[in-house]
Structure 1
Amino acid sequence: MPLDANGAFLSFRNVKKSYDQKTLVVKDFNLDVQKGEFITLLGPSGSGKSTVLMMLAGFEGVTSGDIVIAGQSVTRTAPYRRNIGMVFQNYALFPHMTIAENLAYPLRVRKMNKAAVKDRVNEYLRLIEMGSFGGRYPGQLSGGQRQRVALARALIFEPSLILMDEPLGALDKKLREQMQYEITRLHEQLGFTVIYVTHDQTEALTMSSRIAVFNDGVVQQCAAPAQLYERPSNAFVADFIGENNFIPGKVDRIEGGKARVTVAGGGTITADAAEGLKAGADCVLSIRPEKLFIKPTSHAYDNELVAEHVTHHYVGDFIRFYFRVAEGTEITIKVLNDLAAPDLKAGDKASLVWLAKDCIAFPA
């Protein structure tokens, strides 16, 4: 299949979207997607991620810019000519058709002969492990089963691209996790290219090749899940992805990519310096709850900060401790629920420690 000049299968080039010709809901969106990638668009409500998906599907027009699939611009191409499969949150199955008939529908629309349709339907029923369900109707299936059928129907005509818009939003936690596994399994087995929209961070981190984090119509960072979590590019991404602690401070100096930061109470902290950070400026230190430890500890550390224990919550496999530092900033620590877990009472003072490499100083 032809690719873009830069080797990408799908490219967004300076794509913008405005509904009123005044306010941009998507601002200069650029993204290259390789064949077989699983790209998730993640962000808060109103951030522009679903609008990007609708423009790619052809259901929304592009105000300016270009969308290219397999080397061909599809910006002005009708939706039905883009060879794209879609999976929706509400399944969008035909209730009056059996499961087999639902799967056969996109093949019949494409004039495939009856014998080939039957073989393809049976193949995909086996693929989603529902080989004996062909004669049932959507109303006779569970939510998870209906979503598997919706996924199979989107894949059965072998589209160049699959779009998924909050496909697991209607499922409970256990079913969501099962379907995350199902979608990942099928993606690995068939190698199709996916653009996936969700507001669920765990879902995005679990399933994606890369995640594009949106805020106010702008992609803040697009990276692999581990890089996004461990090395966020700015304070918004650090705050939006997973849990984080933010400690205000002032940059004393920057040397070799490391910032020396003074925090309230007179402590000095060493952290990785984010892009744009300058000596003498106010900053905010970002540190994940699982990267902090309470002395005494066997873990190595570069930084130490005295804090007051406020309370703690038992969560099962771990205990969540809440502390308060000198100027009132609250800090959360996740501690494994084992024999080494500290026994602290409200008001107790404790030394919190961590490694400089696990802490990032962002411009305030």
Structure 2
Amino acid sequence: MEEAGKEEFLRFANVKKTYDQKTLVVKDFSLDVKQGEFVTLLGPSGSGKTTVLMMLAGFENVTSGSITINGAPMTTTAPYKRNIGMVFQNYALFPHLTVAQNLAYPLTVRKLPKAVINEKVAQYLKLIELSHFGDRHPGQLSGGQRQRVALARALIFEPTLVLMDEPLGALDKKLREQMQFEITRLHQRLGFTVIYVTHDQVEALTMSSRIAVFNEGVVQQYASPDDLYERPANAFVANFIGENNLIPAAISGGAGTGFVAASMQCGTAIQARNGNCGARDTQSIISIRPEKLAIKTEGQAFDNQVSAKFITRHYVGDFIRYYFQLSDGSNVTVKTLNDTKAPDFTEGQTTVLAWMTSDCFAFSTHSSPVQGEQP
């Protein structure tokens, strides 16, 4: 795939959506997407991500703000004139048509010559590795095969943009992983631009160029997968993306600078990177990922450490989760590789957990101000 374009291909500017003229389900949404990017809208159910997708497709009206593709306004353009391909969770294939006829349909309605249609259908059947399935009907295919046909049908007319609304939600874990690979392979090969909606964080991290994390109609952070995971913007993103330990603490110095001093509720003094604590913040949430915590042994040097009581452990195959409790009752999880160094504990045994300052963040307990509250 060619490198994503440098100029903004798709732009949302101050987009708002309300259904009742009272409550905003999308609040002052702004986002730029480069050509060839794979951008995922990620968030819990009801956070506004599918509404954004439907406005982009033209299936929902925009209350205010603008959407442009290559500089052309979309908010007053009919859906069928937007040249957008869509892939849905339920496939939306025509059951009475064969696979080949399903693929041919978007070309037929565009009145392409029959020879061109046949050539492109054969090309896309080969691309999705279903060359010998053209005469079958959707009901004769597996779930993964049907989803590949739905994807090919969305791509065959070479749309400006491809929208995918939880397309893998109906598949089991193994098929989901296979289809993640298939979609990524086709994206890399063909270089189309994707807006993908999911609530599955692993799916988003695996497939995306950039991810917009939604909560209550507001984008909390828009960044690459590694930035979201390693440098979350606030406590919501830290908690929503991957596993995390979120421990209450009081800021004792450095608020407004790059690092802060804090006191955990159990009384232990620590140092942390300042996630988003300002000068007015006295209470904070300390975020430490389970794999960044170590069960301390002799000879190891760390910036921070705390005494903890072992509760239990869960064997997960390639790794082990250890569950501990601090003296104030806070629960802490440690994740280690399942190897010969994995320790054994008895319930109630006390040990020391340790971590580096660079691996933990202090986040404000105050919500970030929400812009555009009025419809």
Q: So what's the TM-score if we normalise by structure 1?
A: 0.97
- What does residue 311 of structure 1 align with? 312
Secondary structure of residue in 2 paired with 1:259:
strand
- What does residue 3 of structure 1 align with? none
Shift of 1:279: 7.2
Q: Distance in 2 between matches of 1:221 and 1:98?
A: 43
Shift of 1:314: 1.0
Secondary structure of residue in 2 paired with 1:36:
coil
For the Cα contact (< 8 Å) 1:293–1:299, is it kept in 2? no
Is residue 110 from structure 1 mapped to residue 110 from structure 2 by the alignment?
A: yes
Stretches of structure 2 lacking an aligned partner (at least 5 in a row): 1-5, 366-375
Q: Distance in 1 between matches of 2:281 and 2:187?
A: 49
- What does residue 323 of structure 2 align with? 322
- What does residue 152 of structure 2 align with? 152
- What does residue 185 of structure 2 align with? 185
C-alpha distance 244-50 of structure 1, shift in aligned 2 (>3 A): same
- What does residue 90 of structure 1 align with? 90
- What does residue 204 of structure 2 align with? 204
- What does residue 263 of structure 1 align with? 264
- What does residue 293 of structure 2 align with? 292
Secondary structure of residue in 2 paired with 1:16:
strand
Q: So what's the TM-score if we normalise by structure 2?
A: 0.94
For the Cα contact (< 8 Å) 2:294–2:354, is it kept in 1? yes
**Counterpart residue type for residue 288 of structure 1:** R
Q: What does residue range 1-364 of structure 1 map to in structure 2 within 5 Å? A: 7-254=7-254, 257-278=258-279, 281-296=282-297, 300-364=301-365
Question: Matched residues, percent identical?
Answer: 65
Shift of 1:332: 0.4
Shift of 1:280: 6.6
Secondary structure of residue in 1 paired with 2:32:
strand
For the Cα contact (< 8 Å) 1:251–1:278, is it kept in 2? no
For the Cα contact (< 8 Å) 1:252–1:260, is it kept in 2? yes
- Deviation digits for residues 177-217 of structure 1 (CA, Å, limit 9, x no counterpart): 00000000000000000000000000000000000000000
For the Cα contact (< 8 Å) 1:85–1:159, is it kept in 2? yes
Shift of 1:139: 0.5
C-alpha distance 65-280 of structure 1, shift in aligned 2 (>3 A): closer
How many matched pairs?
A: 359
**Counterpart residue type for residue 70 of structure 2:** A
Q: Distance in 1 between matches of 2:298 and 2:61?
A: 57
For the Cα contact (< 8 Å) 2:180–2:203, is it kept in 1? yes
For the Cα contact (< 8 Å) 2:250–2:265, is it kept in 1? no
C-alpha distance 216-236 of structure 1, shift in aligned 2 (>3 A): same
Shift of 1:224: 0.2
4+ runs of 1 displaced by more than 6 Å? none
For the Cα contact (< 8 Å) 2:9–2:71, is it kept in 1? yes
For the Cα contact (< 8 Å) 2:87–2:151, is it kept in 1? yes
**Counterpart residue type for residue 284 of structure 1:** I
Shift of 1:96: 0.6
Shift of 1:300: 4.5
Shift of 1:326: 1.5
- Deviation digits for residues 240-292 of structure 1 (CA, Å, limit 9, x no counterpart): 11110011111111185111111123211110012233377011100000000
**Counterpart residue type for residue 163 of structure 1:** L
C-alpha distance 196-26 of structure 1, shift in aligned 2 (>3 A): same
For the Cα contact (< 8 Å) 2:281–2:364, is it kept in 1? no
- What does residue 373 of structure 2 align with? none
Q: Distance in 2 between matches of 1:22 and 1:333?
A: 44
Q: Distance in 2 between matches of 1:114 and 1:265?
A: 74
Q: Distance in 1 between matches of 2:261 and 2:283?
A: 12
Shift of 1:298: 6.5
Secondary structure of residue in 2 paired with 1:237:
helix
- Deviation digits for residues 155-189 of structure 1 (CA, Å, limit 9, x no counterpart): 00000000000000000000000000000000000
Shift of 1:335: 1.2
For the Cα contact (< 8 Å) 1:252–1:280, is it kept in 2? no
RCO higher in 1 or 2 (8 Å CA, sep ≥ 6)?
2
- Deviation digits for residues 324-364 of structure 1 (CA, Å, limit 9, x no counterpart): 00110000011111111111111100100011001000112
Secondary structure of residue in 2 paired with 1:175:
helix
Secondary structure of residue in 2 paired with 1:122:
helix
CA RMSD of aligned residues (A): 1.2
